């Protein structure tokens, strides 16, 4: 369906910008008038031009940060808990939205709700970004059970914990990445700018050059002459890898290899198990049926092997085998997770135990990531030290041989 951008004014004269899906511009005008707005300008999104169009298109395409989505959900839950009608709460949220795209989306959701659409269906128009299937299904379950405010509060807590977990992993990787980048850039600078200067000096003197220095000069010369081949090869390899990973078989094979890696594999598995358990527990606690919850979880798994495993769990649930038995039969889930799920099924506290499994494995993941980083950082420093040390020693050997200073 075509997407239109519009500018309209409310009864107080306040102008708003937004986007709307509609068959044609006339439908957009009629819908705005029905919502008590006075259309000023309506145009296809692709047809906008000029500074205003660029500004609006940029705001529409702008991503909604995870923290903004958490704040939106928390504030909406608070407003509904305070007894405000849903449309008024969304109207307040539209004015409070810190993100331009979120403000536009909230305005569109508000108009859909005022026209009689449920909140879940209104949010589904903006799937998958910023509202995931998890978000939409939990809202639908909350509306169906008449506990929307409690569901939104639980959803906000889940999103906040997921954001904190993601931030922890990202912050742990920043220093090693920066260290490797700076170290690599320093080596490239030495090999392409500093070493060639010494090569000219050695060539002019015509003296015998030690073998390590010859090796260093050869590598430096090759990099200066064939850097384009190295860049083309790297780019071609990256494109080939991306194309391969875009296929179902390639993605599955890559994820299988990732899980088999000695140190990184267990960390990836724990991360996926934590995601599976926390999302499933949150959905079940919000009243979402088990099969629907597993369907949502499958789409949100980051590893295709684990996504296939979740699909197999759904098949087991359909057969009446429960959740713990298929988990045990698959053999990919850790024994602790399987036992805790079995206890949850036996005691009728499956949602609570799943959330505990998620919290346990998230804690383990944080510890293992810190341990992995503690090994990676010295390794990077050691490699950079050896490379730079070899460069320095090779150059000193050449200088000593030229000046005939005995070692």
Per-residue pLDDT of the chain (407 residues; tens, 9 = 90+): 577 777 776 666 666 666 776 777 777 777 777 666 677 778 886 543 333 333 334 444 457 888 889 889 999 989 998 888 998 999 998 888 888 888 889 999 999 898 888 898 888 888 777 888 888 888 888 888 788 888 888 888 888 888 888 888 888 888 888 988 998 888 888 888 888 888 878 777 766 778 888 888 888 888 888 888 888 999 999 999 999 988 889 999 999 999 999 888 998 999 999 989 988 998 898 888 899 889 888 888 889 999 999 999 999 999 998 999 999 999 999 999 999 999 999 999 999 999 999 999 989 988 888 888 888 888 888 998 898 889 888 888 888 877 654 54
For residue 297, what are the contacts with CB-CB under 8 A and spacing of at least 6? Answer: 275, 276, 279, 280, 283, 310
Q: What is the pLDDT of residue 312?
A: 94
| C-alpha distances out from residue 359 to 271, 276, 302, 337, 366, Å | 11, 11, 18, 11, 11
Q: Is 402 exposed, middle or buried (0-12, 13-18, 19+ CB in 10 A)?
A: middle
Q: Write down the H helix ranges in 13-85.
A: 25-34, 50-61, 66-81
Q: How far is CA 293 from CA 66, 134, 137, 195, 339, in A?
A: 22, 8, 8, 60, 20
Structural domains in the chain? 3-61 (3.10.20), 67-156 (1.20.81.30), 157-407 (1.20.81.30)
What is the model's pTM? 0.68
pLDDT, residue 54, reads 34
Asked if 126 and 101 touch (Cβ cutoff 8 Å), the reply is no
- Confidence (pLDDT) at 325: 93
Q: Give the whole-angstrom CA distance, residue 341 versus residue 357.
A: 8
- What's the CA gap between 186 and 233, in Å, rounded? 22
Q: How far apart are CA 354 and CA 282, in angstroms?
A: 8
In SS3 terms, 143-207 reads as: HHHCCHHHHHHHHHHHHHHHHHHHHHHHHHHHHHHHHHHHHHHHHHHHHHHHHHHHHHHHHHHCC
Please report the pLDDT score of residue 12 as a whole number.
Answer: 61
Residues 369, 375, 377, 383, CA torsion sign: negative
- Residue closest to 109 by CA, chosen among 64, 48, 157: 64
Looking at residue 233, its pLDDT comes to 92
């Amino acid at each position: 369906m075509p997407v239109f951008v519009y500018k309209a004014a409310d009864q107080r004269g306040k102008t708003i910008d937004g986007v709307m899906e509609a068959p044609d511009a006339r439908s957009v005008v009629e819908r705005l008038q029905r919502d008590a707005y006075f259309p000023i300008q309506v145009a296809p999104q692709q047809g906008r031009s000029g500074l205003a169009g660029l500004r609006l298109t940029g705001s529409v395409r702008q991503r909604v940060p995870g923290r903004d989505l958490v704040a939106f959900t928390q504030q909406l839950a608070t407003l509904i808990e305070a007894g405000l009608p849903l449309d008024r709460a969304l109207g307040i949220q539209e004015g409070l939205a810190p993100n331009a795209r979120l403000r536009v989306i909230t305005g569109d959701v508000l108009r859909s709700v005022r026209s009689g659409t449920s909140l879940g269906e209104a949010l589904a128009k903006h799937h998958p970004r910023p509202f995931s299937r998890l978000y939409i299904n939990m809202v639908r379950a909350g509306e169906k059970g008449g506990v929307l405010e409690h569901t939104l509060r639980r959803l906000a807590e889940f999103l906040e914990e997921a954001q904190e977990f993601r931030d922890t992993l990202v912050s742990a990787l920043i220093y090693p990445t920066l260290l490797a980048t700076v170290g690599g850039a320093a080596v490239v600078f030495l090999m392409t700018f500093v070493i060639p200067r010494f090569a000219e000096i050695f060539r002019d003197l015509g003296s015998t050059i030690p073998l390590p220095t010859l090796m260093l000069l050869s590598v430096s010369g090759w990099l200066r002459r064939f850097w384009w081949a190295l860049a083309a090869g790297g780019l071609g390899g990256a494109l080939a890898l991306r194309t391969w990973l875009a296929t179902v078989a390639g993605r599955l094979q890559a994820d299988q290899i990732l899980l088999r890696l000695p140190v990184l594999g267990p960390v990836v598995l724990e991360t996926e198990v934590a995601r599976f358990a926390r999302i499933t527990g949150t959905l079940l606690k919000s009243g979402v049926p088990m099969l629907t919850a597993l369907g949502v979880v499958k789409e949100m798994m980051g590893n295709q092997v684990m996504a296939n495993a979740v699909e197999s769990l759904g098949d087991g649930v359909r057969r009446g085998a429960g959740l713990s038995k298929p988990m045990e039969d698959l053999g990919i889930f850790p024994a602790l997770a399987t036992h805790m799920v079995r206890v949850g099924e036996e005691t009728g506290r499956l949602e609570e135990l799943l959330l505990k499994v998620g919290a346990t494995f998230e804690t383990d993941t944080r510890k293992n990531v810190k341990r992995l980083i503690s090994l990676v950082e010295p390794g990077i420093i050691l490699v950079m030290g050896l490379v730079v040390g070899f460069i320095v020693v090779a150059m000193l050997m050449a200088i000593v041989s030229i000046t005939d200073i005995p070692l």
